[in-house]
Amino acid sequence: MCYTQNRFNALLSACVLSLIATTGWSQSLTWLGTLGGDYSEAWGVSADGAVVVGFAFNAAGQRRAFRWTASGGMQDLGTLGGDWSAAFGVSADGAVVVGRASNTAWQWRAFRWTAAGGMQDLGTLGGDWSAAFGVSADGSVVVGLVYDADWRKRAFRWTAAGGMQDLGTLGGNQSWANGVSADGSVVVGGSYNAARQWRVFRWTASGGMQDLGTLPGYDMSYASDVSADGSVVVGWAENAAEQRRAFRWQNGVMQDLGTLGGDRSYAYAVSADGAVVVGWAQNAAEQRRAFRWTASRGMEDLNTTYASLLTNGSYLRWATAISPDGRYIVGWGYNAVTGRDEAFLLDTCPGGDADKDCICDDLAGTEADLEGMTVRDWLDLARIGLPSGDASFDGCVDDADLLAVLFVFGQTGDLPEDVNDDGVVDDADLLQVLFNFGSGC
């Protein structure tokens, strides 16, 4: 069975153009402004992209945590009695915000904010300082950094029932937690080991703190985020040339995600399924630019992919968070219209993205934009809105799909029967059909 790009173009071009026209597909970039000052950064986004959190300067030059919505704009979340605050995480529904804020004694404290309860001080472990950097999907588990009574930095995990728990170290005297899985059971960050080497850790209640290693050649690594199920970890590590590189860790393997032509890159966030990573990387001119990485496309400069959304002179500097489905990306960059660095919200796939690989990034609503699409792009586009495992594209996973996979079993290439997009029709595709058998019928 042979499929060519021309064949897919002929079969799908007309219906795709019609679909674009009727659904209004178009990406969008929203600059979020400030609280009256000259700077803002976004650090978290809700699952539906409706809520963004971060910090911005107000007219008095004070850094304040904000919660942004399209209808309400940027809301100042206040402080714990001092002048400063910053938000670094938000629950999936946008209702719980976490970060750090100064109290009346000018001490930084981790906070958990809700509309009903306001800003709650999560306390410390005997010291004076703490900060929250991550929150579980339902907002019940908070992780971050705290000082203990001996002024040692410790990664913590907080729950309402258990309070603040010291997660320990890898044998050294410091640790720091940044990310937490959707259910709150897996925590990631960095810690010194006994040799005073800073290492990525992955913590669970049953296994404690696990050292995930580094890139070959050096001894430093640091984790920023973790996938929903806790199996994929992202962050940065130093390579043999002592260059800090964004990495993606899975199943014991740490992968260097590369750069945009420069020497350095940092990964800050990962989608729920672990397939999409965002952060910043240096380009050939040593400028920091926001990136998105996927296995199929590698590291792409968001300024290039979404150039049509940027006014002349504007650019996206850092990407710091991504929605679970990979659709929404937030961070900050330079807004040439206002002449300042501002938080942004990038909507990459308004039309929906069944395979979570943002195939609609290739679409701008014109036939010319479709001409450069590959066979794989067409296949991914055709699957939008269809149940997983639907090899026949008829909206129902049934005997026809099972027979289709069996008929070309073992073949490689861009085939419709390769429902998991790994380049070969094999047991994995057969299991995907069987697992979803009856869906959509």
* Each residue's pLDDT tens digit, 141-192: 999 999 999 999 999 999 999 999 999 999 999 999 999 999 999 999 999 9
pLDDT of residue 293: 97
Q: What is the mean pLDDT of residues 413-428?
A: 83
Q: How confident is the model at residue 8 (pLDDT cuts 50, 70, 90)?
A: very low
Domain segments of the chain: what residues?
A: 5-23+363-435, 28-359
Q: What is the mean pLDDT of residues 220-239?
A: 97
Residue 376 has pLDDT above 50, yes or no: yes
| Axis-axis angle for helices 399-407, 427-435 (nearest 10) | 180
3-class secondary structure, 379:
helix
Distance of CA 61 to the CA centre of its chain: 30
pLDDT of residue 399: 85
**Average pLDDT value for the chain:** 88
Q: How confident is the model at residue 386 (pLDDT cuts 50, 70, 90)?
A: confident
Q: What is the mean pLDDT of residues 245-267?
A: 97
Q: Identify residue 132 by its one-letter amino acid code.
A: A
Q: What is the mean pLDDT of residues 304-320?
A: 95
Q: How confident is the model at residue 372 (pLDDT cuts 50, 70, 90)?
A: low
Q: How confident is the model at residue 382 (pLDDT cuts 50, 70, 90)?
A: low
pLDDT of residue 31: 98
Q: Token pair 């703490």 is at which residue?
A: 130
Q: Name which of 138-147, 168-177, 338-347, 431-440 the model is least confident about.
A: 431-440
Residue 383 has pLDDT above 70, yes or no: no
Q: Name which of 25-29, 158-162, 205-209, 288-292 the model is least confident about.
A: 25-29
Q: How confident is the model at residue 368 (pLDDT cuts 50, 70, 90)?
A: very low
Q: What is the mean pLDDT of residues 243-250?
A: 97
DSSP letters spanning 250-270:
ETTEEEE---BEEEEEEEEEE
- What is 28-359's CATH number, 1.10.287.3610, 3.40.50.1000, 3.40.50.1400, 2.120.10.30? 2.120.10.30
Residue 24 has pLDDT above 60, yes or no: no
Q: How confident is the model at residue 286 (pLDDT cuts 50, 70, 90)?
A: very high
Q: How far, in Å, CA of 175 to CA of 190, rounded?
A: 6
Check residues 172 and 351 and name the one with the higher pLDDT: 172
DSSP letters spanning 129-146:
EEEEEEE-TTS--EEEEE
Q: How confident is the model at residue 7 (pLDDT cuts 50, 70, 90)?
A: very low
Q: What is the mean pLDDT of residues 332-356?
A: 82
Q: What is the mean pLDDT of residues 361-382?
A: 51
Tokens of 198: 């800073």
pLDDT of residue 161: 97
Q: What is the mean pLDDT of residues 73-95?
A: 98
Q: How confident is the model at residue 342 (pLDDT cuts 50, 70, 90)?
A: very high
Looking at the chain, how many residues does it have? 441
Q: How far, in Å, CA of 122 to CA of 131, rounded?
A: 9
Enter the DSSP assignment of 35: B
Q: How far, in Å, CA of 382 to CA of 300, rounded?
A: 23
